[in-house]
Amino acid sequence: MKKHNFSAGPSILPQEVFEKASQAVLEFNNSGLSLLEISHRSKDFVAVMEEARALVLELMGLTGKGYQALFLSGGASMEFVRVPYNFMTKSGKAAYLDTGTWAAAALKEAREFGDTIVVASSKSDNYNYIPKEYTIPADADYFHCTSNNTIFGTQMHSFPATEVPIVCDMSSDIFSRKVDFSKFGMIYAGAQKNMGPAGTTLVVVKEELLGKTGRHIPSILDYKQHIDKESMYNTPSVFAVYTSYLTLQWLKNNGGIEAMEKKNDAKAELLYAEIDRNPLFVGTAKTEDRSKMNITFLLNDASHNEQFDKLWKAAGISGLAGHRSVGGYRASIYNAMPIESVQVLVDVMRELEKKV
């Protein structure tokens, strides 16, 4: 039985992507060679990289607006280091919004590079909301935020208006909703939620912001070097880039970000409505800041957990356990998840209500 996969990441991708990626491992583009054994500088793979980079900008509405898309390695955690290296001036400072585990991890790395200001934090409330009243110092080199907090199930539904370049970790909600991406100086996202398998990180950067820190940057950490080498400074993660490219194609062929947002809204509404209606369950995030990607909830009476766990496992659901820092349950409903799978979960929640 094919599972209903609510895993927070790595996570569900379209079935056609799995099939095409699997085939490419056996033979790529009728070349007589596996995707895994071809040179990254071969004509066919260079075309994949170029088309994937162009597709990212097209889907985000950034074509011709001075942005570059890169597929780098190291995960979002590597960008926590690349960001201050590339954007924090030697004498400058950076402003961070602390909305969760990953936001705090990004901040921790930046602190070693210079002055960092935490404009606001929801840590004392176990990150169950997004702070909204804060000031970004006008002299900050950049403002860093995390658009969606995978662990705590909160999401920024608006972004601050500021002249300071906004650097945003969109790992867990990129390509899930319409955003004016041109308001950002730099966006990054580990592939393994909405874009592809683990192994590559998307970086979208406004080129004019680079080269201004007066700081020596190790080559592999320097966005300019990656741009100069067209995202082939060194051997890229070929399979992860190719599979991300397949997912981006699927996204485009299925109506792009606009169509995804409609689907995602419907899925989130369906599940949140059941959490709010069903007296057994309660959401963990403040209503106005609820994430449409990672839906976190608890059973009011933890003694029902065991029975609930049996029911959803029997229904073919996997990956529903909450992160240890929140407990309870987390349903990640990324782009590739069909609403039918969310309905299966809702049905199980109703079944539990009838049984207890």
Active site residues: 102, 169, 193
Q: Where are the alpha helices (DSSP H) in 60-216?
A: 76-87, 101-111
Numbered residues of the known binding site for L-glutamate: 41
Question: H helices within 301-338, ranges in order?
Answer: 305-314
Interacting span for its own copies (CB under 8 A) from 29-37, 115-123, 145-153, 180-188: 29-37
Q: Give the SS3 label for residue 149.
A: strand
Q: Which of 98, 109, 173, 289 binds its own copies (CB under 8 A)?
A: 109
Q: Contact with its own copies (CB under 8 A): which of 48, 49, 67, 80?
A: 80
Binding residue positions? 41, 76-77, 102, 150, 169, 192, 234-235
Min. distance of Cβ 178 from its own copies in angstroms? 25
Could you give the CA distance from residue 305 to residue 226 in angstroms, rounded to a whole number? 48
Count Cα neighbours of 114 within 13 Å in the Cβ-side half-sphere: 19
Which of 331, 327, 289 is CA-nearest to residue 128?
289
**Is 192 a binder of its own copies (CB under 8 A)?**
yes
Which residues between 194 and 233 bind its own copies (CB under 8 A)?
196-200, 216, 218-221, 233
Least distance (Å) between residue 243 CB and its own copies: 7
Least distance between its own copies and beta carbon 17 (Å): 8
Give Cβ neighbours of residue 356 (< 8 Å, ≥ 6 apart). Answer: 280, 304, 307
Candidate residues 61, 75, 160, 338; the one interacting with its own copies per rule CB under 8 A:
75
> Rounded to whole angstroms, how far apart are CA atoms 102 and 127?
11
Binder of its own copies out of 30, 32, 43, 133 (CB under 8 A): 32
Measured between its terminal Cα atoms, the distance across the chain in Å is: 27
* Phi, psi values for residue 87, rounded to 5°: -125, -20
Stretch that binds its own copies, among 69-77, 86-94, 253-261, 294-302 (CB under 8 A): 69-77
Looking at the Cβ atoms of 136 and 345, the one nearer to its own copies is 345
Closer to its own copies by Cβ: residue 222 or 289: 222
Cβ contact 79:105 at 8 Å: no
Question: Of the listed pieces 134-142, 143-151, 235-243, 294-302, which binds its own copies according to CB under 8 A?
Answer: 235-243
b vs e for 76-96, b when ≥16 Cβ sit within 10 Å of the residue's Cβ?
bebbbbbbbbbbbbeebbbbb
Q: Under the criterion CB under 8 A, does residue 239 sit at the interface with its own copies?
A: yes
Q: Which of 131, 153, 165, 236 binds its own copies (CB under 8 A)?
A: 236
State yes or no: residue 26 binds its own copies (CB under 8 A).
yes
Q: Which is nearer to its own copies, 181 or 312 (CB)?
A: 312
Is 23 an interacting residue with respect to its own copies (CB under 8 A)?
yes
Q: How far, in Å, are 58, 282, 284, 318, 324 from residue 297 at the CA level?
A: 35, 6, 5, 16, 13
Nearest-CA neighbor of 217 among 105, 89, 92?
89
Is 292 in a helix, a strand, or coil?
coil
Binding string, 300-339, against its own copies, x = CB under 8 A? Answer: ----------------x-xx--------------------
Q: What is the dihedral of CA 341, 342, 348, 353, to 10 degrees?
A: -170
Within 10 Å of residue 62's Cβ, how many Cβ atoms? 19
Residue from 81, 104, 339, 344 in contact with its own copies (CB under 8 A): 81
List interacting residues with its own copies (CB under 8 A): 1-3, 5, 7-13, 18-19, 21-23, 25-26, 31-34, 36-40, 73-78, 80-81, 105, 108-109, 112, 190, 192, 196-200, 216, 218-221, 233-240, 243, 316, 318-319
